[in-house]
Structure 1
Amino acid sequence: MNSKPIKHMVVFNLHVGKDTPEAEQFLKDSAQELAAIPGVEHFEVFRQVSAKTDYDYAFSMVFANQAAYDAYNGHPVHMHYVAERWVKEVSRFQEIDLTIFE
């Protein structure tokens, strides 16, 4: 099992569009819910500024190791969030999970 820290990142677009009041509320709600899950470290929300991609937003967080990441994925708050918010409000996304190269 991976004992290195994992950086989990996801870039995404919302059905409500970019820079709308609904998008701002989604970002705030998501940060509050997801950052509170045990094992989540350094939760950050980003707004895209590059013309090289058409994704609007990103979340980034760090997990101490694979076990912490797995616990997050199976946590009831995360599972409820995915089913009730993410699936319904996110129009498209790309996820990446990274460990440090040594």
Structure 2
Amino acid sequence: MAIQHTVVFRLVHPEGSVEAAAFLRDGEAALTSIPGVTDFRIQRQVSAKSDLTLQFSMVFADQDAYDAYNTHPAHVGFVQDRWIPEVAAFQEYDFVAR
């Protein structure tokens, strides 16, 4: 069963800054290099109801592909080197079809 993995977040960098653009660019490059990541998207939140302003979304064919992503060195490295120091707050959601 396919899994849609999505993370909504707010960066420590000002919106539209060079640093924010670099984070998004580098995140896309790192995460899409991992086998099993499909339909990767970066989206910007437009509702005033949330202070989480960005979203990474991707789809995995099944739980095995998702598990392999979570332990892949590119994912682990991105989380350690970029996510932890540059993300101020986040929420993570994983969805499957009913």
Bin the TM-score by the shorter chain.
Answer: over 0.9
Q: Alignment length, in residue pairs?
A: 98
- In the alignment, the residues of structure 2 paired with residue 56 and residue 32 of structure 1 have an alpha-carbon distance, to the nearest angstrom, of 20
Question: Given the alignment of the two structures, is residue 84 of structure 1 paired with residue 49 of structure 2, yes or no?
Answer: no
RMSD: 0.7
The amino acid that maps onto 2:60 is: F
1:100 corresponds to which residue?
A: 97
Question: Given the alignment of the two structures, is residue 67 of structure 1 paired with residue 64 of structure 2, yes or no?
Answer: yes
Of all paired residues, the percent bearing the same amino acid is: 50
1:52 corresponds to which residue?
A: 49
Kindly report structure 1 stretches of 4+ aligned residues shifted beyond 6 Å: none
> TM-score, normalised on structure 2?
0.96
1:18, CA displacement in angstroms? Answer: 1.7
5+ residue gaps, structure 1: none
> TM-score, normalised on structure 1?
0.93
1:19, CA displacement in angstroms? Answer: 1.9
